[in-house]
Structure 1
Amino acid sequence: MAQAAPTSGGMPRSSRTPDVFSAQAHARSRVAIPVVTGLIYGYWAAANRRSGGPITGWNLLFGFLTALVFAVVLFAVLTWAPRLRRELHAVVWTAFVGIAFGFLFSQSGDSILTSIAISLAVAAVAFILMFYRFYTHEDAAGNRIR
């Protein structure tokens, strides 16, 4: 039986994964991700609001306005939040997630107190996850650790 002998060369080991997309693809995705996510969020909010009833013009308008606001705010969070210190970065994402979830839940017709309680619980979990992520992936100055 033949067996391959070990070699001293081998493949170079890199700690970073290769970037397979071009700079143009990254620039497009910085706009496309908030737009697509906003459209999904707007559809979801409009569907919650109509509660399985017929789709009306006001429902479509509500969905598109919700999608527009969500996409703009998400684009702003993705653009400016990484420039903040890691604690504030986590707080910005916490506020975004909590408000977005609370708004979606409030469109279902439940009481406002239930909506507030559940969105605060979701925001607390989001804060724990985001703070842990930013604390383990950034130094104290806010620079990413590679």
Structure 2
Amino acid sequence: MPMPRSVTRVRRNGVEFTSNVDRVKYTIQELARAALKDVAKLIRRRILDKARKMPGMRKGKRIPNAFQYWVRKRESDLQIGVKHDTWYGVDQELGTNGQPARHIIRDTVYENIDQIRIIQGKYLSSIESENRARGLIDEEEEIGNEDN
């Protein structure tokens, strides 16, 4: 959805009231979404670094596509998870009767809370400047599994 162009202007008794509420609401939503996307890229990169060092990882075995993130526009949230039927699955993360839990996703998020706050702060502080905010917003939906 592109930036709303509508601006409400009301003139009465020589006073003009201009409302940019729709535009500001859109900008805030898109900045929050862009911040989530950057957080997801950071966390996914760190998860992959950890997963490659885990015991049982054979050389040449590809796991990058096992971990994905979803920045959901309607729900305004971020999900980081594991694709179905991949090497690192729910059994590895949460454990089973015969296998201990590894908590690689959860622990990676906890270990990077400060970096997450820095990323979120960078985006949300740009609300003050519309030009700066527009430069940070990428208006494409994304399911991330790239190696950037």
TM-score (norm 1): 0.30
Q: Which has the higher contact order (CA 8 A, sep 6+)?
A: 2
Q: Could you say which structure has the larger radius of gyration? A: 1
TM-score (norm 2): 0.29
Identify the structure with the greater helix proportion: 1
Identify the structure with the greater strand proportion: 2
